[in-house]
Amino acid sequence: MLPEHAPFTPEQRKAIDSLVSGLDPVQRGWLSGFLAASGTVAPVSAPAAATKLTVLYGTESGNSEVLADRTAKEAKKRGFQAVVKSMADTKPADLAKATNLLVIVSTWGDGEPPEGATTFYKELMSGELALSGVSYSVCALGDTSYEKFCQTGKDIDARLEKFGAKRISDRKDCDVDYEESWSSWLDATLSSIAPQSTASVVAAPVAGAVVEYGKKNPFPSEVLENSLLNGEGSAKETIHLGLSLEGSGLSYEPGDALAVIPVNAPDVIQAVLNAAKLKGTETVEVKGEGSKLLADALREDYDITALSRAVLTKLQAITGSTELAALLAEDAKEQLKAWNYGREIVDAIEAFAPNGLTAEQLAGIFRKLPPRLYSIASSPLAHPGEVHLTVAAVRYDAHGRQRKGVCSTYLADLVKTGDFTSIFVQPNKNFRLPTSGETPVIMVGPGTGVAPFRAFVEHRAALGHPGKNWLFFGDQRYTYDFLYQLEWQDHLKSGVLSKLDVAFSRDQPEKIYVQHKMLERAKELYAWLEEGAHFYVCGDANRMAHDVHEALVSIVESQGHKSRADAEAYVEELKKAKRYQRDVY
């Protein structure tokens, strides 16, 4: 509902409320973008003299890089002389040359730096620098569902201060919904460096403005195909999703990811309402949306499953639970980690708010429902106007309750052919095919990790690239789980796919995985690397990617007749040359 002070007559307010209340999230998103596109803003003032600014980023999925580019663009609008640099191409000693330094960095895994920023981070943490001539500020990206939230940004912020750099503005720690936090950090920081640069903005209508789709305004894409890839009898549920890009203006390259905006499942919503002892007909204020029915807000706006310290801290403040306070104590981190494992927010409400919550209290413990990123499984040349995904539906039982992945089961259960779902493209410049079509390519992608390699092979086929292509694929059973089997066989026949090695772990008594197949082909694999092959890995970060990395080092060690240290250095050089790239999650 529009507030009373909105600049509309009572009749206009009533008409707008009536229209908006009947729209679903996809329709509201489109309308929002259309209205936003009807106006633009322009700065009317800038610094008298160009102030130099270095924007340094470290990224895993591409978010930090996108924000770094947007930071520099905004700074230039305000008259700054801004340059963007990646931690992958920067040494800590270079920082001494930066008068004003803005750092945008994400945290990956268990408090680790992004892969491309690892060398920079390690050198910064272990070395000594004199940075008294540098002024800086840090914007840290993270996810509050992880224990070491924004740890990399926190570490870099503290290290720069230790080296004598002067903080321009306080570090901003951003959750997955980072847009507003980043924007406020940027404005405060640029204003502190050069107060006169703070631009006043005026809206100017643009005739015939074209709607632009992206993260701020996702595209409502029609579902062209939603099919099960696994055979009957499989223990897995992997779907192939075809989505339309017609009319979106969106484009992508092989290696990019697609963000999907999900909604929460009805049974999950009902379980939360039951735990909180609410009906769902209550109204709550949703930031940026106004007043909504609680059930609608739980469906469309809030992350109602992911349990984190941040959520529990808010819940404890509401309930005053001494038991929860004990779990949140600094010396109880392991106990908290153990309690959280396999549980969701509904479990916490049942355990620590047995008398229920008000609608406002319930809404207050949630963060915004974040989009989910999936590696794109198609080439735009092979499927013009379309984008494809390969998604494994996540379902499991824990603590006496059936659990399911929010977005994977949204796509598997709730999205049908002909429906619309909101999407945007997330570029990933750290996962790209070689610039030369003659360069050999080795791809390791078990399970849904095969998705980007379907795109790679399709793309090289469409371009007629002569470079050799070798795929290592693995899953549970040959009969049920050989994803895209017929396509791979066609690519082998045409010669686009030079080699295909498969590992099906459950088809024999001993488990066989992709790394075992790599070791069996050690001699030839090393020969390809010596020819200049690029090596790619996509899939599970916890075990698979680690095991594949160890196998790669072992192959270089044995076939190259090197020491372990020299083999590790060889592999590190592959990374630096962007010949060893990973898309892991």
Q: Which of 111, 117, 136 is nearest to 65 (CA)?
A: 117
Q: Report residues of the chain scoring pLDDT below 50.
A: 3, 5, 36-48, 197-207
Q: Is the separation of the CB atoms in 462 and 382 below 8 Å?
A: yes
Edge-first strand order for the sheet with 372-375 is 372-375, 257-261, 420-426, 219-228, 238-244, 386-392
3-state secondary structure 159-198: HHHHCCCEECCCCEEECCCCHHHHHHHHHHHHHHHCHHHC
Q: Residue type for 435, please?
A: T
**CA of residue 401 relative to chain centroid, distance:** 27
Taking the C-alpha atoms of residue 503 and residue 230, their distance in angstroms, rounded to an integer, is 16
Taking the C-alpha atoms of residue 496 and residue 440, their distance in angstroms, rounded to an integer, is 11
The CA-atom distances, in angstroms, between 330 and each of 155, 157, 493 are 19, 22, 60
* CA within 13 Å, CB half, 157: 20
| Predicted confidence (pLDDT) per residue in 118-163, tens digit | 999 999 999 899 999 999 999 999 998 888 899 999 999 999 999 9
The total of other beta-carbon atoms located within 10 Å of residue 61's CB is: 21
SS3 content of the chain, % helix, strand, coil (to 5): 40, 25, 35
Taking the C-alpha atoms of residue 86 and residue 572, their distance in angstroms, rounded to an integer, is 17
Domains by residue range for the chain, with CATH: 1-38 (no CATH), 42-201 (3.40.50.360), 266-368 (1.20.990.10), 441-584 (3.40.50.80)
